[in-house]
């Protein structure tokens, strides 16, 4: 019996949005045209064409016009936001791309892609074809039948009758009944209030249809449910009508119209050239120096290791492999608090192993002894000759350290490698990278462990599901390693090997060390701030002439713009803005905005630090253990989270009080070492400006020197106000500040600000030349470079949008300076760690706050540590101006400044 032909129906509109949000990387052409959704969409088409080998194929799109559903429910999809601008810019190209593949494109006014697919699925079945709907949309599940299935290429998942029952609790023919009751918030379909998926499935399973539910309404004993059903009866029937996919749209088609034909490679070459898809061009046979196209999906061979013989075989394989990827599954996102649940390994594409160690639920299979496994793996993890690959390997390093295992041979981190390849990307996570480079929709944590209040710990996840999830992580990490390892150029590889990977171990030491916190002191401070907030409230109500909710922007807007009749500066979709910039502008006209600003700042410090920090103390250590992130800031700077210790203000009284809570234990001291004006010193080095260089060589106060020149004063006649303004100009120049920006910062006219900047450039002529040259070089090559050759790509330098282009120009000016500063302190941190290890000093590096390092040491090591830190930080790199480090000691962080 011959195999039936198959018709594939692609939900084009759905895939466009999924591709856009699935590939979070900021893919653009050299002219600034966004292409991420196009890239994901093309790869989806390639998957269908190459792997499914369809006999018949069509792609359906939504039309711009309102559909027949709007006629009886005008609010249909009214809650949907306008598509992002960078996605809208790609809309005109999806149809031409699809047509270049010689695929039938379907779009009809008044109907959605779902309706066209519904009609074609029925039609195809009537033509004697098997039908596969290529979509991940749950609405389509109502179409599934004996000869109609679904394929979600992004999750590599096929959906039939059983999968629909698993999803909805009812078979496909009952899906519209369930959805009619539960509604669909994403499409603004109301359903019956209070009826969720589970209750809807129960009702339909018992009564068959919505009509059946209402015929037996008196049998429903739950009072609230019965009331909701009675009240929302009309909505239930209307909602069912809204979710029902039309299967009788008039589509004058012949079966030959949908027959698969080979793509038009010449047209595709032109389009891919326009989009600068070099790897896709290479795949078509066009010349390209880029890396290969997304590889074909490899066959998965995952193994759960539950007996000693398999475990021993795995350890032998790891030794022979010499390089392997691994990933830990644990009980916590915090590596300091986490306990290992299982470990996965991979050393070839598609081949992965998961060793469950601490799963705990009723009926759990027998697992290998955790202590025995870790003891046998310890020599492998500690063998520096065996190269380890990971995704965010710092996490695994810390968890293993707490198990008494010193991870060595830390060779490659796929997250860090991708960051170096594309530092401006919005996503370096495993899920995003798998989608972008492998075309794989990974299993999410929510899928295996649930979400919200019902989320289970990983130790409660069934081993079968956990194994698939965990093994996939290592497998994907290995496959990404193979791709990134060939894509890194010499400069990027040097940064990875000499800075980012060694820094992993340095940061792990810091995170494990933590910093001691005086929670009792913060408790007292919280009480004091409560009193201060009450005083502010009284003053605010007095100025407003009435009491109101200070935290309500709407109520505040009424007071400011209606009652006090202050000018409305900025309007948003929800009304008049009362953000910081608006309040700062209004502060000159009335006392209330200034009071609101002070109140907000105080309340934020209280909630963010004073009340929150004591909750972050780990009971086993009495310390706060932050996490340092290497892949967040595009410049190369580190960021801090859980909690963020880099934004605690130093210039406010409350900020200084908070810093006092970071203390040294008895017999130890806190050392703060801060680079003095490092960005301005780097600007002097990079620009070669003689006046700026000379000022630093003489050891002059650069802000006072700038003020003296700009305001035509003797150096000793410069007062604090003049120095403050010169400081704003100095740092503003580094960030490409405009006259408008400077005028707002200093509360002066734009004319005065423009004159200040012009006088600055007259004084430091080479700085202006450097800035202009830097922007043009970046425009020509597409990226900026730090002193260590760290790249930052800036496609918007060629944007036709003036605002986007000017913003990119400011970034181009600042990135080499800020990025070089970030690289310098990273190198200093690595060298200091090496010295600590060699000297056996008891000192610990605790924190990095951009240009500042914070240490803790025994009192007797004070002089030795101070000398070492100053030497390493100041001599980290030879510049044309001296690097200067300001140092201080104290029992707490504040006093060390």
Q: What is the pLDDT of residues 683-725, one digit of tens each?
A: 999 999 999 999 999 999 999 999 998 888 888 889 998 999 9
- Residue 500 carries which DSSP code? I
Q: What local confidence, expressed as pLDDT, does residue 291 receive?
A: 40
- The answer, yes or no, to whether residue 285 has pLDDT greater than 60, is no
Least confident of 38-52, 362-376, 391-405, 607-621: 38-52
**β-sheet bridge partners, residue 689:** none
Under 8 Å between Cβ of 826 and 804? no
| Neighbour tally for 258: CB within 10 Å | 24
- The answer, yes or no, to whether residue 339 has pLDDT greater than 90, is yes
Token output for 847? 């924190």
Mean pLDDT throughout 466-494?
Answer: 96
Based on the number of CB atoms within 10 Å of its own CB, is 266 exposed (0-12), middle (13-18) or buried (19 or more)? exposed
Token output for 371? 């202590």
- The answer, yes or no, to whether residue 882 has pLDDT greater than 60, is yes
Higher pLDDT, 454 or 766: 766
Euclidean distance between CA atoms 450 and 452, whole angstroms: 7
- Residue 24's pLDDT band, with cuts at 50, 70 and 90, is low
Euclidean distance between CA atoms 310 and 307, whole angstroms: 6
DSSP for 48-94 reads IIIII--SEEEEE---SS--HHHHH-TTTTTTPPPPPHHHHTTHHHH
In tens, the pLDDT along 199-230 reads 999 999 999 999 999 999 999 988 899 999 99
- The answer, yes or no, to whether residue 2 has pLDDT greater than 60, is no
Mean pLDDT throughout 862-885?
Answer: 96
Q: What local confidence, expressed as pLDDT, does residue 451 receive?
A: 78
Q: What local confidence, expressed as pLDDT, does residue 573 receive?
A: 62
The rounded radius of gyration (Å) of the Cα atoms in the chain is 31
Q: What local confidence, expressed as pLDDT, does residue 292 receive?
A: 39
In tens, the pLDDT along 507-560 reads 999 999 999 999 999 999 999 999 999 999 999 999 999 999 999 989 999 999
Instruction: Indicate the pairing of strand 148-152 with strand 56-60.
Output: unpaired
Strands (DSSP E) contained in 268-367 are 301-304, 323-330, 340-348, 351-356
Euclidean distance between CA atoms 626 and 607, whole angstroms: 17
Instruction: Indicate the pairing of strand 783-785 with strand 791-793.
Output: antiparallel
Under 8 Å between Cβ of 570 and 579? yes
- The answer, yes or no, to whether residue 411 has pLDDT greater than 90, is yes
Size of the chain, expressed as the number of residues it contains = 897
- The answer, yes or no, to whether residue 288 has pLDDT greater than 50, is no
Long-range contacts of 805-813 (CB under 8 A, 24+ apart): 809/736, 809/775, 810/735, 810/736, 810/737, 811/736, 811/784, 812/774, 812/775, 812/778, 812/779, 812/784, 813/734, 813/735, 813/736, 813/771, 813/774, 813/775
Q: Is the peptide bond before 293 cis (omega within 30 degrees of 0)?
A: no
Q: What is the mean pLDDT of the chain?
A: 91
Mean pLDDT throughout 359-367?
Answer: 95
Considering the domain 6-258 in this protein, what is its CATH number?
3.40.50.1010
- The answer, yes or no, to whether residue 257 has pLDDT greater than 70, is yes
Token output for 707? 């003020």
Residue found by looking up tokens 């209070």 in the block = 194
- The answer, yes or no, to whether residue 284 has pLDDT greater than 60, is yes
- The answer, yes or no, to whether residue 483 has pLDDT greater than 90, is yes
Q: What local confidence, expressed as pLDDT, does residue 734 receive?
A: 82
Mean pLDDT throughout 314-322?
Answer: 96
Token output for 256? 């030959």
Mean pLDDT throughout 285-309?
Answer: 71
Mean pLDDT throughout 764-773?
Answer: 94
Least confident of 107-121, 269-283, 427-441, 548-562: 269-283
- The answer, yes or no, to whether residue 87 has pLDDT greater than 70, is yes
- Residue 1's pLDDT band, with cuts at 50, 70 and 90, is very low
Q: What local confidence, expressed as pLDDT, does residue 803 receive?
A: 79
- The answer, yes or no, to whether residue 387 has pLDDT greater than 60, is yes
The angle at the Cα of 803, spanning 93 to 755, to the nearest 5 degrees, equals 165
Task: Specify the pTM.
Answer: 0.72
Please state the φ and ψ torsions of residue 578, each to the nearest 5 degrees. Answer: -130, 35
Query: Domain limits of the chain?
Result: 6-258, 301-488
Under 8 Å between Cβ of 7 and 149? no
Euclidean distance between CA atoms 782 and 813, whole angstroms: 13
Mean pLDDT throughout 418-434?
Answer: 88
Q: What local confidence, expressed as pLDDT, does residue 656 receive?
A: 94
CATH of 301-488, one of 3.30.420.10, 1.25.10.10, 1.10.275.10, 3.40.1260.10: 3.30.420.10
- The answer, yes or no, to whether residue 733 has pLDDT greater than 80, is yes
Nearest to 592 by CA among 555, 538, 539, 533: 539
Mean pLDDT throughout 761-778?
Answer: 93
């Amino acid at each position: 019996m011959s195999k039936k032909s198959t018709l594939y129906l692609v939900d084009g509109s759905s895939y466009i949005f999924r591709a856009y949000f699935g590939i979070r990387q900021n893919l653009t052409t050299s002219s600034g045209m966004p292409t991420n959704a196009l890239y994901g969409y093309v790869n989806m088409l390639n998957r269908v064409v190459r792997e499914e080998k369809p006999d018949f194929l069509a792609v359906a799109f939504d039309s711009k016009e309102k559909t027949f559903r709007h006629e009886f429910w005008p609010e249909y999809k009214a809650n949907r936001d306008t598509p992002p601008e960078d996605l809208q810019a790609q809309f005109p190209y999806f149809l031409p791309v699809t047509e270049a593949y010689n695929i039938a494109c379907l779009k009809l006014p008044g109907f959605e892609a779902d309706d066209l697919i519904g009609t074609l699925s029925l039609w195809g079945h009537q033509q004697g074809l098997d039908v596969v709907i290529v979509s991940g949309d749950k609405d389509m599940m109502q179409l599934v039948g004996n000869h109609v299935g679904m394929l979600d290429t992004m999750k590599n998942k096929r959906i039939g009758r059983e999968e629909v029952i698993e999803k909805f609790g009812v078979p496909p023919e009952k899906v519209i009944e369930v959805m009619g009751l539960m509604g669909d918030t994403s499409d603004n379909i109301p359903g019956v209030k209070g009826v969720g998926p589970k209750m809807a499935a129960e009702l339909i399973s018992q009564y068959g249809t919505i009509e059946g539910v209402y015929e037996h309404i008196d049998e429903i004993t739950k009072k609230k449910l019965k009331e909701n059903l009675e009240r929302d009866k009309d909505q239930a029937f209307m909602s069912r009508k809204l979710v029902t996919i039309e299967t009788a749209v008039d589509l004058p088609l012949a079966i030959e119209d949908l027959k698969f034909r080979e793509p038009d490679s010449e047209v595709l070459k032109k389009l891919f050239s326009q989009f600068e898809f070099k790897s896709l061009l290479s795949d078509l046979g066009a010349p390209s120096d880029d890396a290969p196209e997304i590889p074909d999906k490899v066959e998965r061979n995952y193994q759960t290791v539950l007996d000693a013989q398999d475990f021993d075989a795995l350890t032998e394989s790891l030794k022979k492999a010499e390089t392997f990827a691994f990933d830990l599954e644990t009980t916590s996102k915090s590596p300091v608090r986490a306990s290992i649940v299982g470990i996965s390994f991979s050393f070839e594409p598609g081949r992965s192993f998961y060793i469950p160690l601490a799963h705990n639920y009723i009926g759990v299979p027998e697992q290998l002894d955790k202590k025995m496994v870790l003891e046998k793996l310890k020599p492998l993890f500690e063998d520096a000759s065996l190269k380890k690959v990971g995704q965010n390997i710092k996490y695994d390093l810390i968890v293993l350290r707490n198990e008494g295992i010193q991870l060595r041979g830390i060779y490659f981190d796929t997250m860090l490698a991708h960051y170096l390849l594309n530092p401006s990307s919005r996503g370096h996570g495993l899920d995003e990278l798998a989608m972008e480079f492998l075309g794989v929709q990974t299993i999410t944590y929510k899928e295996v462990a649930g979400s919200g209040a019902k989320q289970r710990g990983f130790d409660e996840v069934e081993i079968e599901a956990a194994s698939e999830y965990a093994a996939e992580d290592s497998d994907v990490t290995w496959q990404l390693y193979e791709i990134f390892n060939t894509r890194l150029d010499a400069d990027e590889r040097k940064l990875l090997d000499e800075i980012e990977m060694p820094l992993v171990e340095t940061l792990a030491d810091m995170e494990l060390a933590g910093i001691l916190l005086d929670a009792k002191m913060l408790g007292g401070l919280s009480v004091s701030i409560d009193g201060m907030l009450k005083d502010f409230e009284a003053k605010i109500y007095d100025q407003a002439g009435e009491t109101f909710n200070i935290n309500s922007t709407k109520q505040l807007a009424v007071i400011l713009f209606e009652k006090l009749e202050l000018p409305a500066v900025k309007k948003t979709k929800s009304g008049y803005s009362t953000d910081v910039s608006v309040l700062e502008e209004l502060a000159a006209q009335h006392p209330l905005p200034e009071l609101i600003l002070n109140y907000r700042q105080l309340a934020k410090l209280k909630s963010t630090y004073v009340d929150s920090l004591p909750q972050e103390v780990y009971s086993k250590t009495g310390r706060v253990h932050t996490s340092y992130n290497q892949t967040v800031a595009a410049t190369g700077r580190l960021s801090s989270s859980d909690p963020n210790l880099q934004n605690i203000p130093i210039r406010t009284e409350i900020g200084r009080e908070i810093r006092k809570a970071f203390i040294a234990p008895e017999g130890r001291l806190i050392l703060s070492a801060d680079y003095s004006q490092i960005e301005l010193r780097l600007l002097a080095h990079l620009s070669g400006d003689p006046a700026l260089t000379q000022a630093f060589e003489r050891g002059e106060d650069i802000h006072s020197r700038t003020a003296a020149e700009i305001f035509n004063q003797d150096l000793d006649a410069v007062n604090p106000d003049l120095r403050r303004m010169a400081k704003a100009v100095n740092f503003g120049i580094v960030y490409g500040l405009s006259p408008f920006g400077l005028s707002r910062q200093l509360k002066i006219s734009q004319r005065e600000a423009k004159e200040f900047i012009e006088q600055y450039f007259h004084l430091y002529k080479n700085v202006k030349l450097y800035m202009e040259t830097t922007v043009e070089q970046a425009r020509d090559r597409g990226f900026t470079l730090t002193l260590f050759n760290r790249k930052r790509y800036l496609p918007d330098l060629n944007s036709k949008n003036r605002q986007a282009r000017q913003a990119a120009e400011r970034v181009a000016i600042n990135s080499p300076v800020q990025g070089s500063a970030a690289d310098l302190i990273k190198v200093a941190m690595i060298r200091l760690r090496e010295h600590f290890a060699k000297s056996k000093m008891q000192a610990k590096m605790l924190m990095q706050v951009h240009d500042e390092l914070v240490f803790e040491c025994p009192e007797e090591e004070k002089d030795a540590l101070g000398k070492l830190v100053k030497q390493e930080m100041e001599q980290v790199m030879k510049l044309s101006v001296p690097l200067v480090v300001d140092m201080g000691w104290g029992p707490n962080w504040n006093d060390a400044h």
